[in-house]
Structures are given as C-alpha cells and as structure tokens.
Amino acid sequence: MSHAYRELILGGQKSGKSARAELQAAQWLAQPQRQAVLIATAQAWDPEMAARIERHQSDRALRVPGLQTVESPLDWPAELQRLSRHDTLVVVDCLTLWLTNLMMPIDPAAAVGVDGLARRVSEAAEALARASGPVLLVSNEIGLGVIPMGREVRAFVDALGLLNQRLAQACDRVTLMAAGLPLTLKALA
C-alpha cells in the first residue's frame, strides 16, 4: 500500500468489509513510524446500536491495538482532511451509516435535501482527492436485491449506489467482499 493509495471496500452486512480494512490497518501499522485512524460514522440511536458500537470498539481494540478511533457521524470528509498525512492510514467505516445520518436523521428537519446531499457527496470526493495519505473507505452494497417498496428507501438505495460509484471512480482499488472473500472489481497497475 503506497502513501497515496485509496481503496473502496464494498459488501453486504457481515461480508468481511471491516475485517479487510482492519487487516490492512494492522499491516500498515506493522511498519515503523506509521499511524492509523478509523473515522467511525455510527450513532447510538437505540440501546441495541449502542451495545453494537461498544462491542465493535472493544473487539477492534484487541484486533488492531494501534488503530485510533475518531467519531464523526456527519462530517468524515473534514476529519479526513484534518488527519490525512503520508504516514497515517485513514479508514472511514462506514459510508452507508454516514449517508443514513444525512438522509434519515432522528430529527427529520435535519435531513439534507437533494441539493445538500449532492454538495456533501462532492465534498467527500474532493476530500478523498486531496488526502495526502492512504485511505480505506468501507461501504455497503445494497442494490443487488429486489427494488424496495417505499419511496424513501428507494431514494436511499439510489443515493448509496451513486455515492459508491462516485467514490469508486476516485479510488485505485475497489474490492467487493462476499463470505469473507475479496473480489477485485478495480485495480490500477
């Protein structure tokens, strides 16, 4: 992994996306004088999600002890700009929850509209392009099933598909995870 490397890791729930990112972070940290930071986008909106986040944090600390965590549920692009350096790997986990936070917040009045969402996606792509160090992006691939019934859910699936496409274009590598196995969709030589 070079200092300007960018990878988008896609997959379904429990496909191994985060495990792949953590493995790469551990490999990055094995070299002297390197750091790694995970930008977490999850929010604890209910007791089950709070417990899930706590479990992920403790498990991750055991698997990759040197991986620092910064929570940024709404503005990971600004955190990426703040944290990115040639010696620091930044992992963003995950884009799906970030999009959920923007489109379907607890307070419906805080939801970004179509124009706001387009602006935020552009900011994300620009932040990725400006990052001076390696970046791993984790996102769900949810567009492989049946078309959702509700208008809001269809809008979300469409928005996530477009977000994934936009960021995949800016990445050196795109990996689809299935059953814990990586499938390379894009790899620049």
User: Which element (helix H / strand E) includes 89?
Assistant: strand 88-93
Catalogue the active-site residues: 56
Report the first-to-last Cα separation within the chain, whole angstroms.
Answer: 12
User: Which element (helix H / strand E) includes 161?
Assistant: helix 151-170
Q: How far apart are CA 173 and CA 186, in angstroms?
A: 5
**Structural domains in the chain?**
6-187 (3.40.50.300)
Helices (H) and strands (E) in the chain, counts: 6, 7
Print pLDDT tens along the chain (189 aa): 666 899 999 999 999 999 999 999 999 999 999 999 999 999 988 999 899 989 988 999 889 999 999 999 999 999 999 999 999 999 999 999 999 999 998 888 888 988 899 999 999 999 999 999 999 999 999 988 888 788 888 999 999 999 999 999 999 999 999 999 999 999 986
Answer whether 92's CB lies under 8 Å from 45's CB.
Answer: no
What is residue 189's predicted lDDT score, i.e. its pLDDT?
Answer: 64
**What count of other Cβ atoms lies within 10 Å of the Cβ of residue 133?**
23
